């Protein structure tokens, strides 16, 4: 990369945002950032970044803002609220928006950004906190060629793969939403199938082994069922992510008059799992809900010896 690194503000320093900030720092970027959590701000400082109290302060005169908050409402607030980045970014700066949201929201934000003289890339991410930390996310992006050009050095630093999906904002968000529909259904199905197997007295480790070699497998089955087998529900990705994302899927379906019976069944199961007190636990907790209902014993975590 021959260009001089841009300054970049990362707004939202959860496990995804912090991982991306660290990848940018490793790549030589000058990174400011902000988050409501003081410990997240400290973690950015520890990594060599510059924490600020508000998005507006973090983005002052900066050429790019990477927005990694959880939904459209938060994205709108950190972009266009009183303390938002739009008020302080350098003229012509690029906003890279990574929260999962309805494509219509992304279009609305892009129009406001354009009116403020800013570029906007609709750039949802996939891969989880591990890939965020290693700079190997997958980005599903759409936007004007100038937005892609401006964002390119940042994308190279955070992603192993950037799908360039077209010039229209909203396409990136649509692809992400389709992916989340499938991902959510597959997690719910994996949890339903594993607890059903338990109700049939099958050896769950053997079920995992056989299914992962059969036509019934999925990326999510292979990724999440080990959490069940290890009895480990510490959140790699939380139930609340899928009540949110399948909620967006459901909203879009209703908005488009498009029926989504499978995704709706999955949403209801995630809601039931959240209602049972597991919203912040790993999304494989859907299996614990079925087990609770049916009185099944799933594997317990291995005890660490002291």
Catalytic residues: 176
**Least distance to its own copies, CB of residue 288, Å:** 14
Q: Does 252 bind its own copies (CB under 8 A)?
A: yes
3-class secondary structure, 11: strand
**Least distance to its own copies, CB of residue 270, Å:** 11
CA distances (Å), 152 to each of 96, 119, 261, 278, in order? 10, 13, 38, 38
Segment holding 204, helix H or strand E: helix 204-211
The Cα–Cα gap between 216 and 203 comes to 17
Tell which positions 219-248 bind its own copies, by CB under 8 A: 219-221, 223
Q: Does 123 bind its own copies (CB under 8 A)?
A: no
Assess contact for 121 and 143: CB atoms under 8 A. yes
**CB burial class (10 A; 0-12, 13-18, 19+) of residue 15?**
middle
- The nearer residue to its own copies, 75 or 180, going by C-beta atoms, is 180
Q: Does 210 bind its own copies (CB under 8 A)?
A: yes
Please identify, among the stretches 32-40, 91-99, 151-159, 215-223, the one whose residues bind its own copies according to the rule CB under 8 A.
215-223
Please identify, among the stretches 8-16, 73-81, 182-190, 297-305, the one whose residues bind its own copies according to the rule CB under 8 A.
182-190
CA-based torsion, 262, 267, 270, 272: positive or negative = negative
**Least distance to its own copies, CB of residue 160, Å:** 10
- The nearer residue to its own copies, 77 or 210, going by C-beta atoms, is 210
**Least distance to its own copies, CB of residue 61, Å:** 35
Among 149, 139, 142, 140, which Cα is nearest to 167's?
142
Tokens 């503000």 found at: 9
- Cα-trace Rg, the chain: 20
Chain residues that interact with its own copies, rule: CB under 8 A: 103, 126-128, 138, 140, 161, 163, 165, 171, 174-175, 177-183, 185-186, 188-190, 192-193, 195-197, 199-200, 202, 206-207, 210-211, 213-221, 223, 249, 252-253, 256-266, 268-269, 290, 293-294
């Amino acid at each position: 990369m021959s260009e001089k690194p841009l300054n970049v503000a990362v707004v939202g320093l959860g496990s995804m945002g912090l991982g991306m900030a660290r990848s940018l720092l490793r790549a030589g970027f000058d990174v400011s950032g902000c988050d409501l959590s003081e410990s997240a701000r400290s973690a950015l400082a520890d990594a060599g970044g510059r924490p600020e109290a508000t998005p507006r302060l973090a983005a002052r005169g900066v050429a790019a803002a990477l927005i990694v908050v959880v939904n459209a409402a938060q994205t709108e607030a950190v972009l266009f609220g009183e303390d938002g980045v739009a008020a302080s970014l350098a003229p012509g700066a690029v906003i890279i928006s990574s929260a999962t949201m309805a494509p219509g929201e992304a279009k609305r934000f892009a129009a406001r950004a354009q009116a403020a003289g800013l570029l906007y890339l609709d750039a949802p991410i996939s891969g989880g906190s591990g890939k965020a930390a290693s700079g190997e996310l997958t980005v599903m992006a759409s936007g004007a060629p100038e937005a892609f050009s401006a964002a390119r050095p940042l994308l190279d630093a955070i992603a192993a793969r950037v799908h360039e999906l077209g010039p229209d904002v909203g396409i990136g968000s649509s692809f992400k939403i389709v992916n989340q529909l499938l991902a959510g259904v597959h997690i719910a199905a994996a949890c339903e199938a594993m607890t059903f197997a338990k109700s049939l007295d099958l050896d769950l480790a053997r079920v995992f082994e056989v299914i992962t070699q059969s036509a019934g497998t999925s990326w999510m089955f292979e990724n999440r069922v080990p959490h069940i087998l290890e009895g480990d529900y510490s959140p790699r990705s939380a139930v609340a992510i899928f009540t949110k994302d399948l909620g967006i899927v459901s909203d879009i379906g209703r908005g488009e008059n498009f029926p989504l019976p499978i995704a709706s069944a999955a949403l209801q199961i995630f809601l039931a799992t959240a209602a049972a007190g597991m919203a912040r636990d790993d999304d494989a907790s859907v299996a614990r809900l079925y087990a609770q209902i049916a009185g099944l014993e799933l594997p317990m975590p291995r005890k660490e010896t002291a």
